[in-house]
Structure 1
């Protein structure tokens, strides 16, 4: 019966760090999880760590052909998607600032961190629209808040600022379809990106995203959250 069907969640960049912690948290809540990575082998290795039904799949969010192929593949396996978590991203700003960064690096970071999530929502909209409780969570950063922009982290800050703006616009555009869209700051987390000195574990970084995907009130929409609280964009 439809009412007993497990909910499904897709997490981009779900093979490590915060993405894997989100996948583990949702699997523990009974969700069927789809883990994507730019490497199928990495996605499969991550899937093996979860003691539940997991679909590992290769996906590059900067490549529309890759996104479209994944949609076509998954449409043969699933009839709806309940949660889309846009977690994949890059942080390439070491040793540069807003005065030295190249157009090429700005392009590549914006493409991965902001345009990728927009295209994911567009491509998966038919599957999301079939869910009675569809939720989209964009994993952003405090660096994407206006008050925390840093000239020393130029492409990452601008891409997350754009992602937060896209969150507002996607929530507006999808409101009539009953699809909730929010962005989340996971905090400074011990990952390959965050480094070993970060104060938060991946599980702590994943908590708000998991909550937004599952139990958060649906009237929280088009917002930016940290530690389950709405904060300023």
Structure 2
């Protein structure tokens, strides 16, 4: 279990991201709670214990991401954990054949390019033994969704995030940084809606990848520590 170091969690003002940030800070990990709206981030951090720092972070804005990288470099000298959690548009209301491509572009801007932008900016700061976790979804799994329609922007963007995970894992292996994608499952959050499993269970699935030993796997896709088909 990781109990030291510096972690960044994007999109952490609510849901799974907030719970991951809360749990890491409670362990003693200096946790940067990234939130596009800093005021909402401050509200989310209220009542958390441990070293949590709120930073305004918009993963679609290069200047915002670069500012975070500069702040981490100056104040902490590096980074140990990056959780790319920010995500948008679980678009169950539309189909691929009749999709609003504006929604698709927004989904890719956050779910893929935003995660990629953040990884590019912060990967140079990841120390040996670091962890990069991309919060993905079974909705992006070919094996789990074959033949199923619905949520096209979300599903296709998460499939792309999985491929990004594989590429980053290969690139960062020489620096002893493990990169993995995690599906937290269907969780009862603002995005997931009612009826899902508790947020704590989804966060635990993410923390599995944060807590992997140094000789653990990289370039994998898991849920609750078990493989999810690509």
**TM band (smaller chain):** over 0.9
Alignment partner of 1:138 is 2:154: no
Question: Runs of 4 or more off by more than 4 Å in structure 1?
Answer: none
Alignment partner of 1:69 is 2:67: yes
Distance 2:67 2:114 in 1: 15
Structure 2 counterparts to residues 69-148 of structure 1, below 5 A? 69-128=67-126, 131-148=127-144
Distance 1:216 1:46 in 2: 30
List alignment gaps of at least 5 residues for structure 2: none
- Secondary structure of 1:133's partner? strand
Distance 1:104 1:42 in 2: 26
TM-score, structure 2 length as denominator? 0.93
Equivalent of residue 157 in structure 1, options 155, 158, 161? 155
RMSD: 1.5
Displacement of 1:160 in angstroms is 0.3
List alignment gaps of at least 5 residues for structure 1: none
Displacement of 1:148 in angstroms is 3.0
Displacement of 1:94 in angstroms is 4.1
Q: 1:160 to 1:220 in 2, by over 3 A?
A: same
Given that residues 184 and 223 in structure 2 are in contact (C-alpha distance below 8 angstroms), is that contact kept between their aligned partners in structure 1? Answer: yes
TM-score, structure 1 length as denominator? 0.92
Pairs aligned (count): 226
